[in-house]
Structure 1
Amino acid sequence: MPMRKTLAVLLPLALPGAALAHPGHVTGAPFAAGLAHPLGGSDHLLAMVAIGLWAASLGGRAVWALPLAFVSAMIAGGALGAAHLALPLVEPMILASSILVGAAVALALRPPVHLVLPVVAVFGVMHGYAHGAEGPGHGFAAYVAGFALATGALHLAGIALGRLALVRWLGAATAAAGLVVAAVQG
C-alpha cells in the first residue's frame, strides 16, 4: 500500500471530531458501551492497532504476549478508573502510546520482549483507566468484557496489518496520526 493510501486511511482518524478522546458515554447496555469505547476515540484506536503492529513486527511470542499484557493491564487500569483512584498523566500517556509504539514499528525497533512488556502494560493501564473512569454505574463486568473484546479485535487487526510488507510505513503513519491527535487535543 503506497504511503498516500496509508495516510488516507489513518489520518481521518485524527480529524477534530474523531480526535475527542472520550466523546461521552455510550447509552445502552454496558457490554455495547464497552465495545464502543475503544472505537470512539482515535487515540485509543491508533494505540491498540499499533500494539498489534509492533507484536507482528517483533514476531515469535510477542504476537500473543504484547496483546495479552496490554489487555490484562487495561482491565486492571479499568478497575482503578472505576474506583476513581488518582492516576497521574493518563491522557498524555494515552497520546504517547500511539506515537511511541508507531515510531518503534516505523524504526523497526526490536528490543527483547521482556523489556517491551512493561512498557505495553503501562500503556494498557492508562487506556484502561480512561475506560473505567467513564464506565457505567452498573454492569461494570459486562462493560469490561466489551472493552477487552474490542481491544483484542483491534490488536488482531494490527497483527494482520503487521503481516504486510509495509509495516514500517504503517508504523510511521500511526505515529504521524498520533501526533496530529495530540496537536488537536493540545
Structure 2
Amino acid sequence: MRASAALSLCLYAGTAAAHSSTGLSGGFGAGFAHPFGGGDHLLAMVCVGAWGAQLGAPLRLALPLTFPLTMVVGAALALWGLPMAAVESGIALSVLALGACIACRWRAPVWAACALVAGFALLHGYAHGRELPVAADPAGYSLGFVLATGLLHVLGIGIGELGVRLSGAALCGFGAAVAAVGAGFLYSALVA
C-alpha cells in the first residue's frame, strides 16, 4: 500500500527532474537529497533492488552493487567531457525497462541482468556527473548521492522480498506501474 502511494506521488514528478543541469549547492546533504528529487532516478534505484530481490542470489546483491560502481564510471566520463547522446531518453527508458523486467518476471542470466543495470547506471552517472563540477563540495555531494542511491536500492530489495513472499502478482503489478510511469517519462523526453 505504501509503495503504491509513493509510486502515485512519483507520477506527478517532472520528467528527469533530478537532472536540471542548473547547478548544485552544498555538499553531503544536497547530494543525499538529490536522488529523491526526481521520480526517474528514484524509481530506477528502487527497481534495481526489487528486481535483484525477485531474481534472488547472487543478483539480490550484485545488481545494487553494480549500479553505483558503474554510475561512478558514467560520472567520470561526463567530468572528462566525453559526449554521450540521448542521456535523458536513456534514463527514462531505464525506468520503463526495469519496471517491465519486474512485471514480466524476466529471469535474466546473471551476465545479462548485470549488463542491463550497468548500461543504465552509466547513463544515470553521466547525467549527474555533468552537474557535479558546479557543486560547492563535489566530494561530499558525491558521497551523499551514492549513499542515498544505496538506500533506495535497499528499499527496493525490501519491496522485492516482501512482494516475493506475499504475492508475486503484487510485485508484478508494482513493476507494471513503474513501467507505465517510465513510458510517460520516455514520451516526455522524446518530445522535449
Report deviation, 1:88.
1.6
- Kindly indicate whether residue 127 of structure 2 is the aligned counterpart of residue 130 of structure 1: yes
How many angstroms does 1:115 deviate by? 1.5
Equivalent in the alignment of 1:175 = 179
Alignment counterpart, residue 120 of structure 1, candidates 117, 122, 136 = 117
Q: Superposition RMSD on alpha carbons, in Å?
A: 2.0
Secondary structure class of the residue paired with 1:78: helix
Separation in structure 2 between the aligned mates of residue 13 and residue 136 of structure 1, nearest angstrom: 28
Is contact 1:16-1:184 (8 Å) kept?
Answer: no
Q: State the Cα distance separating 1:126 from its structure 2 match.
A: 0.6
* 1:154 lines up with 2:152 in the alignment: yes
1:92-131 per-position Cα deviation (integer Å, ceiling 9, x unaligned)? 1100101001001000000111121111111111101111
Amino acid at match of 2:171: V
Q: TM-score, normalised by structure 2?
A: 0.86
TM-superposed CA distance for 1:18, in Å, is 6.7
1:36 matched residue in structure 2: 33
Partner of 1:54: 51
| Partner Cα separation in structure 1 for residue 186 and residue 8 of structure 2 | 12
In the alignment, is the contact (CA less than 8 A) between 1:26 and 1:37 conserved in 2?
A: no
Question: Secondary structure of the equivalent of 1:134?
Answer: helix
Cα pair distance change 1:149/1:16, threshold 3 Å: closer
Report the alpha carbon displacement of residue 8 of structure 1 after superposing the two structures with TM. Answer: 4.1
Give the CA deviation at 1:176.
1.1
142-151 or 118-127, which deviates more:
142-151
- Contiguous gaps of at least 5 residues in structure 1: none
Superposition map of 1:5-154 within 5 A: 7-15=4-12, 17=14, 20-23=17-20, 24-28=22-26, 30-137=27-134, 138-154=136-152
What's the CA shift for 1:155?
A: 0.6
Deviation of 1:19 (Å): 5.3
Does 99-108 or 167-176 show the bigger shift? 167-176
* Partners of 1:116 and 1:127 in 2: CA distance: 17
Deviation at 1:142, TM superposition (A): 1.9
The residue type equivalent to 2:56 in the other structure is G
Note closer, same or farther for the CA distance 1:179–1:102 as it changes in structure 2 (3 Å cut): same
CA distance in 2, matches of 1:79, 1:144: 12
What letter is aligned with 1:161?
Answer: I
How many residues of Structure 1 are paired with residues of Structure 2 in the alignment?
182
Please state how far the C-alpha of 1:25 moved relative to its aligned partner. Answer: 3.8
> Which region of structure 1 is more displaced relative to structure 2, 63-72 or 142-151?
142-151
Determine if contact 2:18/2:35 at 8 Å carries over to the other structure.
no
The percentage of aligned residue pairs carrying the same residue is 43
